Amino acid sequence: QDVVNKIAAGEIIVAPVHALKELIENSVDAGSTLLEVLVKEGGLKLLQITDNGHGINKEDMPILCERFTTSKLKDFKDLESIGTYGFRGEALASISHIAHLTVTTKTKDSTCAWRAQYDAGRLVPAKPGQSADPKPTAGRQGTQITVEDLFYNVPTRRRAFRSASEEYNKILDVVGRYAVHCDGVAFSCKKHGESSTTISTQSNSSTVDRIRQIHGSSVANELIEFTSSDEKYGYRARGWTTNANYHVKKTTLLLFINHRSVDSTNIRKAIEQTYSAFLPKGGHPWTYLSLEIDPHRVDVNVHPTKREVNFLNEDEIIEKICMDIRTKLATVDT
């Protein structure tokens, strides 16, 4: 059974960044306003995320890493949509099968923090001979998840990684996306052993400020805000996109659907098409788009490695968003 779980986990998490994305989403779901990421060797040696969210109850710790354990199915109706949501309560379980996982957490009401270690879905002792039960420890409210030696027991996967800096760049990309998107959350990301952070944002900064911090002033100074919505198709969109007098070398799209970072080739192409009338040849847009769609119309909880998303009335929704962007581009004078 453990072998089967290990293989399944290796398909869910193919690179460190896939684990990290799940951990970031968990921290954000826990209502955190502070989120710190620490990385060693591109995340293969160490991936640690510390948040100040609501924490995990001590009683829930023994089952935390069992597959399909989730605190996020609110009612029976949610259960019906498990099929479409696909990926639920599998992240921590998967990670525990292919890495050494340590969780330290404190809720508001707990007098101390609790620390536990996991292997293959179960609590394990920190040292041989000790009890596997969570141990009391000092700590502030929130949760710290430490993932060490990812793929230690999947040598073929481990060997497939050539460069730690390549993996680190993927991590920075994802942290940067969430840092732009999550209003009211301060993010930081740094390499272990380095004093300076690679990404650092404040919780009280505006979206454009955060874009400036992560993507630079040259882009941030050229952005126009847009909104788009349609009740018939059950969506609301908001974003920032470069104006018609500015362009970047490669199309950049920071896309969030229902607050999850995803990809959509269709949206990307449509936005490029929208700008083709405005930009010189070889010039491309930079766009951050947050799209909220009725969850029943979209596969929100996409598989960590499969970020491509589809939803109902996709063509109509994309067309309307692009029309609203086009109108803005034509009217905003810069």
Coil, helix or strand at residue 244 = coil
Q: Which does 19 bind (CB under 5 to 8 A by kind): ligand ADP, Mg ion, none?
A: none
Residue with tokens 């999550």: 182
Q: Are 98 and 43 in contact (CB under 8 A)?
A: no
Phi, psi (degrees; rounded to nearest 5) at 87? -100, 105
Task: For residue 36, state whether it binds ligand ADP (rule: CB under 6 A).
Answer: no
Task: For residue 91, state whether it binds Mg ion (rule: CB under 5 A).
Answer: yes
Q: In what order do the strands lie in the sheet with 260-261?
A: 223-230, 235-242, 286-293, 252-257, 260-261
Task: For residue 26, state whether it binds ligand ADP (rule: CB under 6 A).
Answer: yes
Residue closer to Mg ion (CB basis): 26 or 198: 26
What's the DSSP call for residue 201? -
What's the DSSP call for residue 160? T
Task: For residue 304, state whether it binds ligand ADP (rule: CB under 6 A).
Answer: no
Q: Which does 64 bind (CB under 5 to 8 A by kind): Mg ion, ligand ADP, none?
A: ligand ADP
Distance in Å, CB of 33 to ligand ADP, minimum: 13
Chain positions 12 to 41 lying near Mg ion, rule: CB under 5 A, are 26
Residue with tokens 């109706």: 77
Chain positions 43 to 72 lying near ligand ADP, rule: CB under 6 A, are 51, 53-56, 64, 69-72
**Cβ atoms < 10 Å from Cβ of 162:** 9
Residue closer to Mg ion (CB basis): 258 or 313: 258
Q: Which does 143 bind (CB under 5 to 8 A by kind): Mg ion, ligand ADP, none?
A: ligand ADP
Q: Are 258 and 292 in contact (CB under 8 A)?
A: yes
Task: For residue 88, state whether it binds ligand ADP (rule: CB under 6 A).
Answer: yes
Q: Are 45 and 149 in contact (CB under 8 A)?
A: yes
- What is the rounded CA–CA span in Å between residue 261 and residue 280? 29
Chain positions 116 to 175 lying near ligand ADP, rule: CB under 6 A, are 143
Which stretches of the chain bind Mg ion, using CB under 5 A?
26, 91
Which stretches of the chain bind ligand ADP, using CB under 6 A?
22, 26-27, 30, 51, 53-56, 64, 69-72, 88-93, 143
